[in-house]
Amino acid sequence: MAEKGSAGVVRVTGEGADRGATRLLHRAREARLTGERTRVAPRAEIDASWNRVVRSGIDPEQSPESELLEADEIEHRRRSTALGELMPLLRSGLASIADAAQQIMVVTDTEGRVLWRQGNTGVLRRAHDICLEEGAAWAEAATGTNAIGTALAARAPIQVHSAEHFIRALHGWTCAAAPVRDPRDGRLIGVVDISGPASTFHPATLALVDSVARLAEGEIRNRHLAEIERLRAVAAPILCRIGGRALAVDTHGRLAAVTGMPPVDRLPLPKSLRPGRVWLPSLGMCRVEPLPGGWLVQVSDGGAEGPPRRVVLDLSRPRGLAVHLTGPLGTSTQRLSPRHAELLFALSVHREGRTASELARDIFGDATRTVTVRAEISRLRRHLAPVLAHRPYRFGDGVEVEVVHPEHPGDLLPHSKAPVVTGARGRAGAG
């Protein structure tokens, strides 16, 4: 099928059995590969995907094969995603229909790795020829334009048919996929897909897959509400007996009950929360106790308690890099990796704060490596949130910082090539 687009461009889809449209789509694809100017182009979603795939260097003649995940890694990923609990719903909603339609249902994680597949036995055998099997990689960066990878990249449902696939080996297939999100925070948790031979194409398949994905999201929402209600039933009598400020939250920090303070939708919690006294940046010092399905958080309102106010960054021994935090409740020590030591040293040099691009220059000499910097700072803040601020990244206001240097200036993080470190060594040597 073809339709006139803007600027006289003819947009072509690969849907159905229109041989003329299929020829036009092949022509558009060949023109894209050779850089030839043409007035024929695929529909906008496929056009955008082809552009991404061309930039990534995918070979259109390559095999869709990929290195499969080991069985234990597949099982680990299955246990780590909420999609595992939804498989009965997905099987009843899609797998039986896929089987009758000579297709298969495929469920992947957020990386496009196939975790489950089910459906027509003959199609499952044919899927082996294109590596559409458990543990395979179907992100665009691995397999080019396809419904799973393109739904992940575009964060939207999409149907990819025949020659719309970038890799020629997939032209005999049709597929429709929809992303599944956690309705509690909008986070992507995976993709649901139906795939089969190109002859099984049907325009309603995409609507079916998207509807089942939305049903799955609704099931997550209903289960969460039921869990919150159970937690609230346990916590409410306890909160009635507590004086001061307190709240009950689930394991993700979502509120179930509160007393003595305004409600919040979600309380940010440390990744490895344990019972006892804990400093939470949004509340201050708290006492945390486990509840069935969550935590009881009591805010300590004593005036003497507060966050650590002194930081000692110990760089005196290359094999003993550490940071010591001192506050009203005593001193705690956190061992540091060389990279985290470099980042904290940069922040100690620039107490006014650094943007992600400035830190990237400090550490890598390359201002574009902001993604790496943000990821490493995020890991640091899991343990040092009481003393690290952001926007810009810096030590918090009122925090006293001391750096313990090695005896000889040249021994400062001796293996580091970070400009902020090599510059400090040079200045100390010149002094």
pLDDT tens per residue, range 273-327: 878 888 887 888 888 888 999 999 999 875 445 556 789 999 999 889 999 887 6
* pLDDT of res. 303: 46
- CATH 3.30.450.40 in the chain is located at 71-222
Low-confidence ranges of the chain (pLDDT < 50): 2, 4-9, 17, 303-304, 329
Given the candidates 3.80.30.20, 3.30.450.40, 3.40.1550.10, 3.30.70.260, the CATH classification of the domain at 71-222 is 3.30.450.40
Count CB neighbours of 386 within 10 A.
Answer: 21
Encode pLDDT of 60-84 as tens digits: 999 999 999 999 999 999 998 999 9
Q: How far is Cα 195 from Cα 97, in angstroms, rounded to an integer? A: 12
φ, ψ for residue 103 (rounded to 5)?
Answer: -135, 180
Going from the C-alpha of 101 to that of each of 20, 121, 200, 202, the distances in angstroms are 26, 12, 7, 10
* pLDDT of res. 270: 81
Pairing of β 104-108 and β 187-197? antiparallel
Going from the C-alpha of 5 to that of each of 2, 19, 360, the distances in angstroms are 9, 20, 43
Q: How far is Cα 9 from Cα 34, in angstroms, rounded to an integer? A: 18
Residue ranges in 19-65 assigned as alpha helix (H): 19-34, 44-56
This prediction's pTM: 0.64
Single out the residue of 329, 342, 351 nearest to residue 415, CA to CA: 342
* pLDDT of res. 6: 45
Single out the residue of 286, 225, 290 nearest to residue 254, CA to CA: 225
* pLDDT of res. 332: 77
- CATH 1.10.10 in the chain is located at 310-430
Q: How far is Cα 89 from Cα 106, in angstroms, rounded to an integer? A: 14
* pLDDT of res. 217: 96
> What tokens does 119 get?
């459906």
Rg (C-alpha) for the chain, rounded Å, is 27
The 3-state DSSP class for residue 275 equals coil
> Are 346 and 423 within 8 A, CB to CB?
no
- Residue 149 C-beta-side C-alpha neighbours within 13 Å: 22
> Are 76 and 69 within 8 A, CB to CB?
no
Class of domain 310-430: mainly alpha
